[in-house]
Amino acid sequence: MTTTAVRPDNGVAAPQRPPRRKVRGLLAKHWYAWLMIAPVVLVISVLVLYPLARGIYLSLTNATEMNVGRTIGANEIPATYDLIGLDNYLDVLSGADGAFYPRLLWTIQWTVICVTLHFTLGLGLAMLLNRAMRLRTLYRMLLILPWAVPPFVAAFGWRLILNDQGGVLNAVLGAVGISGVDWLGQPLAAKVSVIMVNVWLGVPFMMVALLGGLQTIPKELYEAAEMDGATPWQRFRAVTMPGLRPVSGTVVLLGTIWTFNQFPVIALLTGGGPGGSTNILVTEAYERAFQGIRDYAGAATYGAVIASMLVVFAFFYQRWLRRQSAEVLT
């Protein structure tokens, strides 16, 4: 044992072995690494992979609250749901269940609008803050504040502000002569509201990240560009954007994932309403599983569809990462 422990993992290439001893050879060489990842592999298998497999199984059944096995007092009611094959997927993907494509469209709109606003506003503020001026630290502190607010607290606070009965936003609008809006009660206004709140929450992170990125761009580059007579816009295009690429690529991706999966803002601000109009895919799945007659199979199907979209996304993300690091090397 002790001899293998000291042996470095990236040691000299092993001599050709007969295949019979290959497994033992691999074990001797890598047991240490495998031991170190074992707890994570165990936890992920039990908590993620097994539930995932079970979720896929459930999505092939017609399980609802009424027919899954449960225990009421001393009586055990056995499960009575059946395997029904791909019917759930057909229902969802053919549009027969009615909600999927509207939700998907809204999820994409929601993600694109939120991330675009996060990035442009965050970049704008970062560029304003990235110069010598009075009160810079104070501005920075105040602008970061929304990031320090837990999303569920922000959702409650905004509900108070957007309330159609005596909310302060309508009072302010009324004072300048605009009639009040039922922010959380009308489909379009509710969509605007959830985007507004999520943008409020997400801009500070982008701002701080991009400010960090801006500070890594050498001042000399700007000076050189100025000497060459470049206009501010040209300097932005030729110096700022390329200099920010490593940071901006990462934060846009993180932002996309976070926004796609944003649960608390929508669930606590509008509860997906009115009439499900603000439900993105993840809140829709949640609603199916735990509201009204719990449609476990339908929710699992949504879960499986969302998971496969994320796997595809992750695949392209990795390819993109590899291409980026290759670019840096050349």
Partner 1 sequence: MSANRGKLSSTALHTTLVAACVIAVFPVAWVALTSLKTERDTWARPDELGTIGLGNYGQVLADTQFTTWFLNSLIVATGTTVFGVLIAATAGYAASRMRFPGHRPLMWTFLVTQMFPAAVLIVPLYNVLSGLGLLNSYGGLILAGSTIAVPYCAWMLKGYFDTIPVSIDEAGRIDGLSPFGTFWRLIVPLAKPGISVTIFYSFITAWGEVAFAGVFMQSEDRYTLPVGMATFVSDFKAEWGLLTAGSVLVMLPAAAVFFLVQRHLVAGLTAGGVKS
Spatial separation of the C-alpha atoms in residues 122 and 137, rounded to whole Å? 16
User: With respect to partner 1, which residue has the nearer C-beta, 142 or 241?
Assistant: 142
Query: Quick one: which segment of 30-38, 93-101, 110-118, 230-238 binds partner 1 (CB under 8 A)?
Result: 30-38
CA 276-279-283 angle, to 5 degrees, is 120
| List 25, 28, 64, 152, residue binding partner 1 (CB under 8 A) | 152
Query: Quick one: which segment of 87-95, 108-116, 177-185, 296-304 binds partner 1 (CB under 8 A)?
Result: 296-304
Query: Quick one: which segment of 27-35, 81-89, 98-106, 234-242 binds partner 1 (CB under 8 A)?
Result: 27-35
Q: How far is CA 111 from the centre of its chain?
A: 9
Task: Establish if 129 lies at the interface with partner 1 (CB under 8 A).
Answer: yes
| List 6, 176, 293, 326, residue binding partner 1 (CB under 8 A) | 6
* 275 close to 187: Cβ distance less than 8 angstroms: yes
Could you tell me which of 269, 272, 274, 275 has the C-alpha nearest to residue 285? 272
**Beta-ladder partners of 72:** 75
Task: Establish if 283 lies at the interface with partner 1 (CB under 8 A).
Answer: yes
Write the CA distances from 199 to 50, 192, 266, integer angstroms.
Answer: 36, 10, 13
Question: How far apart are CB 137 and partner 1 at their closest, in Å?
Answer: 12
Burial class (CB in 10 A: 0-12, 13-18, 19+), 6: exposed
| List 89, 99, 102, 139, residue binding partner 1 (CB under 8 A) | 139
Q: Site map for partner 1, 213-252, x if CB under 8 A?
A: ---------------------------------xx-xxx-
Spatial separation of the C-alpha atoms in residues 67 and 265, rounded to whole Å? 32
Task: Establish if 84 lies at the interface with partner 1 (CB under 8 A).
Answer: no
Question: How far apart are CB 68 and partner 1 at their closest, in Å?
Answer: 8
Residues between 297 and 326 with contacts to partner 1, criterion CB under 8 A: 299-300, 302-304, 306-307, 310-311, 313-314, 317-318, 321-322, 325
Q: How far is CA 150 from the centre of its chain?
A: 16
| List 17, 21, 26, 218, residue binding partner 1 (CB under 8 A) | 26
Other C-beta atoms lying within 10 Å of the C-beta of residue 61: 21
Task: Establish if 100 lies at the interface with partner 1 (CB under 8 A).
Answer: no
DSSP state letters, 176-223: TTPPP--TTTSHHHHHHHHHHHHHHHHHHHHHHHHHHHHHTS-HHHHH
Other C-beta atoms lying within 10 Å of the C-beta of residue 59: 24
User: With respect to partner 1, which residue has the nearer C-beta, 49 or 90?
Assistant: 49
Question: How far apart are CB 63 and partner 1 at their closest, in Å?
Answer: 9
Residues between 41 and 80 with contacts to partner 1, criterion CB under 8 A: 41, 43-44, 47-48, 50-52, 54-55, 58, 68
Question: How far apart are CB 250 and partner 1 at their closest, in Å?
Answer: 4
| List 14, 21, 37, 85, residue binding partner 1 (CB under 8 A) | 37
Spatial separation of the C-alpha atoms in residues 185 and 273, rounded to whole Å? 8
Task: Establish if 263 lies at the interface with partner 1 (CB under 8 A).
Answer: yes
